[in-house]
Chain A
Amino acid sequence: MTDLEITQVSPERYRLRGELDMASAVTFEDALSPVVQGGTQLVLDLEDLTFIDSSGLRALVQLSDQMNGSAPLVLSNVPHGVQRLLDIVGLNTLPGIEVRDDA
């Protein structure tokens, strides 16, 4: 089972530690779907995310879709490798996702 730890560090900010793939996407959805359904802002701190693949990206986009345009899903402290993946698939250009450096 893929290791992924999700920690709430402030009311709107969650830190992901570990790997986000097909298996941990389930954990991710279970933990964060209820949060965005409250219509709140959400910032994901990805500093300790050591791996993500297309299944993980799908989980991010599905979460942002659930926010229904109320606010963008903010990705913060995006590691270099993750940024490269976002560039390849063009995820930065999606309206529902915002990459921000606010460490």
Chain B
Amino acid sequence: MRDGATAKVIPLGERLRSHREERGLSQAQAARELDVARTAYRLWELEAAKPSPDRWRLIAGWLGVSISTMLLGEDLIDQEDAAAADQIAKRAANGSEEAWDEIAAASPGDFFEQERSTIASQLRSGRISAAESGRLTALLDRVIEGVESRAALPAAGAFRKELAADINAPEIARTALVVTAAGVNDSILDRAELLTSELVSDAVERSDGSLWLAITLHPDLLRVEVAAESGGVDQQRRPPRDKRAGWSMAITSELASRWGAGWESDLYVSWFEIDLPGGASGWA
């Protein structure tokens, strides 16, 4: 960073959550305002999924920030680029920040086409210089590259994330499951959602640190695994022996095709699998 007073970059997920909480909205209400499924919105907040470029204008407008600021939070551009882009757009519009985005939003095509045609029209009308146009175009190319390389990562079918072992972990894990296992039929997904909630609730009661959640969707099998950190082998925690643990066991043995749990040094590892119909393993 060149100047010492540079503001901290706020990741998009954090920005969405704090804006939503400031307005006293639930995730479901925020999702409605942004015209997106609640599961998708939840994953945005968790940084476990990224909104597509088609959503960027709406999200930036909802947050009340410029698109460059939003892309900065998405790690798609750096602070210097974001500041330059904002400055060029602002000057082109004679001090009004909205104008650029309004022109772009009214243009045909997807986000990138809209931005390109806005750069071209602003250049033609002499509101930006050729150098500025070149800088914005190069920046746009880098953003496209960033989005494409992100899309190349395996998104659906596999999910791995570290979660805090607190009471919110079961819901986060269920959301991740629903998105990762998209396409699996509803009754199996319901079963898997419940089993995941049981697995993670149990891990939360045993752990005081982090959880690692791994969800893998194979053609014939859905597998969910949770590893929970404990304070060390001497402090292996048992959940309180209340009714819940017994019920959780009953539910798991009733609904999972296979499951298991145990200590691996200082990690408590538990997992379940569900055979998917049409797959080879279900009826072997």
Contact = CB atoms under 8 A, between A and B. Distances in A.
A100 interface: no
B168 A1 contact: yes
B138 interface: no
A54 B170 contact: no
Given A22-B204, A61-B243, A88 B170 contact: no
Interface string A8-49: 000000000001011100100000000000000000000000
A86 to B, nearest CB: 10
B170 A26 contact: no
A75 interface: no
A45 to B, nearest CB: 19
Interface residues of A, number: 19
A55 B244 contact: yes
Given A21-B201, A22-B204, A55 B170 contact: yes
B98 to A, nearest CB: 33
Contacts of A54: 198, 201, 244-245, 247-248, 251
Interface footprint category on B: 20 to 34
Interface stretch (B189-197, B224-232, B261-269): B189-197
A58 B251 contact: no
Contacts of B193: 51
Contacts of A57: 243-244, 247
A2 interface: yes
A78 B115 CA distance: 52
B168 A2 contact: yes
Interface in A80-102: 81, 85, 88-89
A81 B251 CA distance: 12
Contacts of B254: 88
Contacts of B190: 81
Interface in B245-282: 245-248, 250-251, 254-255
Given A3-B28, A54-B201, A89-B250, A23 B168 contact: yes
Given A53-B201, A54-B251, A55-B170, A3 B27 contact: yes
A81 B197 CA distance: 15
B67 to A, nearest CB: 28
Nearest to B255: A88
B244 A58 contact: yes
B71 to A, nearest CB: 27
Interface of A: 1-3, 19, 21-23, 26, 51, 53-55, 57-58, 61, 81, 85, 88-89
CB-CB nearest 4 A-B residue pairs: A53-B197, A89-B247, A54-B247, A23-B167
12 contacts: A21-B170, A22-B167, A22-B170, A23-B168, A23-B170, A23-B171, A51-B193, A53-B194, A53-B248, A55-B201, A88-B247, A89-B246
Interface of B: 26-28, 167-171, 174, 190, 193-194, 197-198, 201, 204, 242-248, 250-251, 254-255
